[in-house]
């Protein structure tokens, strides 16, 4: 295995500088967000991240252990592919930029050498229960990420290595896809131009947008502004939704009251269908109504 240079894993100052530099362009993990294919962000939240001064410099235990485990995960790959690959790690928080587009960069985890050919190594850790979601291959956002990395580094292949839980590791090899990379780069460039011109992307219905709006507009000005006419229909629909929600809440409460009334002092009741409800006292003494399905052990049926 190729030995990496000496470095400190968790140098706070190095990480803080890296976070600031990430605002100066688009990294590999940003690529899926530009294509609206990320589960972690959307274009509006990504825009907020690039245009505001807020830096999230907290390092979670998950991130810290991920860095700690990278060497062990890479060594396992090197051992399993002994004689075919040489594997090396890159220093953490390193930024490598595109040969032509200085706004396009990535932070390498490591490298894989196969004869005279060099590929990128991307390492991730995931919970064991996520393994089933990867059975048909990595999620699209990670495929986009490694395509971005290959474009920046100008290599033709990459290895995505994932540790699931404590002991299950798998890897996937990806070849560079020039047509996709060309389209991806166009999307990224268009988004980066919006950042440069301070053109705010439109909102959507996700929590990413709610978070982005709080970042972009943290303080209210004591002013009034005319709203566009297109919001008239949205306003009418919003009031309808509120009324429907209120009615549904009352309907639900009424049904739950009927069930609790029929249960009385008993903690469990079973419907003719076999489904049923429990109404048990919690640790705080308060009874909570819960539904269980036929054959479920949640009801502890006897």
Query: Do both 294 and 170 map to the same domain?
Result: no
Domain for residue 222, yes or no? no
Question: Are both 71 and 156 inside the same structural domain?
Answer: yes
Q: Are residues 124 and 183 in the same domain?
A: yes
Q: pLDDT grade, residue 172 (50/70/90)?
A: very high
Q: Are residues 61 and 118 in the same domain?
A: yes
Query: Which residue segment(s) compose the domain that 212 sits in?
Result: 12-216
What pLDDT sits at residue 171?
92
3-state secondary structure of 15: helix
Averaged pLDDT, 137-162: 96
Residues 124 and 262 both lie in one domain: no
Claim to verify: residue 167 and residue 293 sit in the same structural domain: no
Task: Of 75, 44, 11, 68, give the one whose Cα is nearest residue 207.
Answer: 44
- Confidence band for 56, pLDDT divided at 50, 70 and 90: confident
* pLDDT higher than threshold 50 for residue 299: yes
The encoded tokens of residue 103 equal: 């706004």
Give domain status of residue 128, yes or no: yes
Report the share of the chain in percent with pLDDT over 70: 91
SS3 209: helix
- Total number of domains in the chain: 2
Span 19-28, mean pLDDT?
A: 94
Is the separation of the CB atoms in 34 and 46 below 8 Å?
A: yes
In a domain, 225, yes or no: no
> 35 and 91 share a domain?
yes
In a domain, 90, yes or no: yes
Q: Which two structure tokens, joined as six digits, stand for 251?
A: 């309907």
- Where does a domain end: 216, 250, 271? 216
Quick one: 26 and 77 in the same domain?
yes
The answer, yes or no, to whether residue 300 has pLDDT greater than 70, is no
Please list, residue by residue across 236-255, b when 16 or more beta carbons sit within 10 angstroms of its beta carbon and e when fewer do.
Answer: eeeeeeeeeeeeeeeeeeee
Do 209 and 241 have their domain in common? Answer: no
Tell whether 73 is covered by a domain: yes
Contact predicate 120/90, CB 8 Å: no
- Name the pTM for this structure: 0.81
Residues 178 and 45 in one domain: yes
Does 3 fall in a domain? no
Q: Which of 188, 216, 244 is the last residue of a domain?
A: 216
The pLDDT confidence band at residue 3, using thresholds 50, 70 and 90, is very low
Residue 167: CATH number of its domain: 3.90.320.10
């Amino acid at each position: 295995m190729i030995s990496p240079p000496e470095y400190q894993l968790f140098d706070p100052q190095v990480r803080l500088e890296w976070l600031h530099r990430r605002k100066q362009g688009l990294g590999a993990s940003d690529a899926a967000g530009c294509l609206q294919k990320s589960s972690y962000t959307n274009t509006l939240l990504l825009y907020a991240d690039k245009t505001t001064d807020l830096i999230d410099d907290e390092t979670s235990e998950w991130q810290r252990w991920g860095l700690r485990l990278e060497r062990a995960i890479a060594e396992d790959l090197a051992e399993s592919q002994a004689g075919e690959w040489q594997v090396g790690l890159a220093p953490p928080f390193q930024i490598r930029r595109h040969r032509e587009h200085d706004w396009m960069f990535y932070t390498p985890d490591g490298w894989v050498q196969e004869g005279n050919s060099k590929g990128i190594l991307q390492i991730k850790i995931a919970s064991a229960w996520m393994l089933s979601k990867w059975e048909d291959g990595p999620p699209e956002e990670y495929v986009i990420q490694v395509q971005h990395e290959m474009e920046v580094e100008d290599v033709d292949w990459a290895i995505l290595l994932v540790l699931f839980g404590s002991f299950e590791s798998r890897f996937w090899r990806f070849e560079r896809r020039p047509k996709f990379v060309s389209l991806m780069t166009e999307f990224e460039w268009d988004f980066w131009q919006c950042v440069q011109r301070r053109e705010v992307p439109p909102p959507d219905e996700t929590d990413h947008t709610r978070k982005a709006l709080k970042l972009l507009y943290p303080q209210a000005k004591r002013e009034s502004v005319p709203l566009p006419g297109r919001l008239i229909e949205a306003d009418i629909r919003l009031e309808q939704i509120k009324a429907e929600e209120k009615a549904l809440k009352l309907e639900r409460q009424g049904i739950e009251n009927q069930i609790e009334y029929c249960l009385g002092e008993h903690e469990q009741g079973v419907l003719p269908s076999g489904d049923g409800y429990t109404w048990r006292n919690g640790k705080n003494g308060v009874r909570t109504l819960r539904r269980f399905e036929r054959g479920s052990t949640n009801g502890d049926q006897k």
